[in-house]
């Protein structure tokens, strides 16, 4: 493959099919997505559109039934699960809608955990975790357990954890879905700041207004395909495909 400058993630005609008895469910059926370094991308669509499956493939959490996926120009479509885990552990940070914090670990220990799998020593893990929790204004909550934190505080721990291995890409699934509007806006402003400092951000959301407010590129997914592509150029949206928004 000829290297594509500034493209960090690319899906080329990717499909994901599931066998349900005698029926084949086509969650994705030939989707193509390109994410450039430093972009802020929103993958959007209604429930059942395929956007969550798309997130799993964009984030290297799953392998496609067909098509090719490239991460930093490396074809990862046919890697083993252990190989895939190593690649995404270094390149991609994840913020899950349900936070997915480990309840019997403190905030600091939750942030330290991903670094353990990248063989960083304990002193380095502790120093980095403290730095990140300071960054998200939780320096006074480091030794608290998830159950002792509010939803917004748990989300900020999840962001700090996602940043622990200094990923090039931060992928967030419905990042404001379990938060009140004020806390949600604070989280989005933090993602904006990270993006301004060079981190590539990908969010998966059903919220059109949130996508338009923060993203620079929007992929609208419908029935397992990209129905519409929108790019913000000089403050105005340029549309390609069946864009109704």
Model pLDDT, residue 112: 95
Distance between CA 167 and CA 76 in Å, rounded?
17
Low pLDDT (below 50) residues in the chain: 1-2
Q: Among the residues of 31-179, which ranges form H helices? A: 51-58, 81-91, 107-116, 122-135, 151-162
Residue 109's CATH number? 3.40.50.300
Q: Which long-range contacts (CB under 8 A, 24 or more apart) does 136-141 make?
A: 136/160, 136/190, 138/107, 141/107
Q: What is the pLDDT of residues 227-236, one digit of tens each?
A: 889 999 988 8
**215 in a structural domain:** yes
Residue 74 lies in a domain: no
- Domain tally for the chain? 1
Q: DSSP label at 203?
A: E
10 belongs to a structural domain: no
Residue 202 backbone class (left: φ over 0; alpha: ψ -120 to 50; beta: rest): beta
Query: Does 7 map to a domain?
Result: no
Q: Which domain holds residue 179?
A: 40-49+82-241
Is 75 part of a structural domain of the chain? no
118 belongs to a structural domain = yes
pLDDT of 245 reads 53
**Per-residue confidence (pLDDT) for residue 35, from 0 to 100:** 94
Is residue 167 assigned to a domain? yes
Task: Express each pLDDT in 98-111 by its tens digit.
Answer: 888 999 999 999 99
pLDDT of residue 182: 83
**Residue 30 domain flag:** no
Q: What is the pLDDT of residue 12?
A: 94
């Amino acid at each position: 493959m000829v290297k594509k400058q500034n493209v960090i993630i690319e899906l080329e005609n990717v499909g994901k099919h599931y066998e349900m008895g005698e029926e084949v469910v086509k969650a994705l059926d030939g989707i193509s997505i390109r994410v450039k370094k430093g972009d802020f991308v929103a993958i959007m669509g209604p429930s059942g559109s395929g956007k969550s499956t798309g997130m799993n493939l964009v984030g290297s959490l799953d392998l496609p039934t067909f098509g090719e996926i490239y991460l930093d120009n490396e074809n990862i479509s046919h890697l083993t699960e252990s190989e895939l885990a190593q690649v995404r552990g270094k390149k991609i940070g994840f913020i899950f809608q349900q936070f997915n914090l480990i309840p019997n670990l403190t905030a600091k220990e939750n942030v330290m955990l991903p670094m353990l799998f990248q063989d960083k020593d304990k002193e380095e893990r502790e120093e980095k975790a403290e730095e990140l929790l300071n960054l998200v204004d939780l320096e006074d909550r480091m030794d608290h357990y998830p159950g002792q934190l509010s939803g917004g505080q748990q989300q900020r721990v999840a962001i700090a954890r996602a940043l622990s291995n200094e990923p090039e890409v931060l992928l967030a699934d419905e990042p404001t879905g379990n938060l009140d509007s004020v806390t949600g806006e604070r989280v989005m402003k933090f993602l904006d700041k990270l993006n301004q400092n060079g981190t590539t951000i990908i969010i998966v959301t059903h919220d059109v207004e949130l996508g338009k407010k923060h993203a620079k590129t929007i992929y609208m997914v419908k029935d397992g395909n990209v129905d519409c592509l929108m790019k913000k150029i000089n403050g105005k949206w340029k549309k390609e495909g069946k864009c109704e928004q």
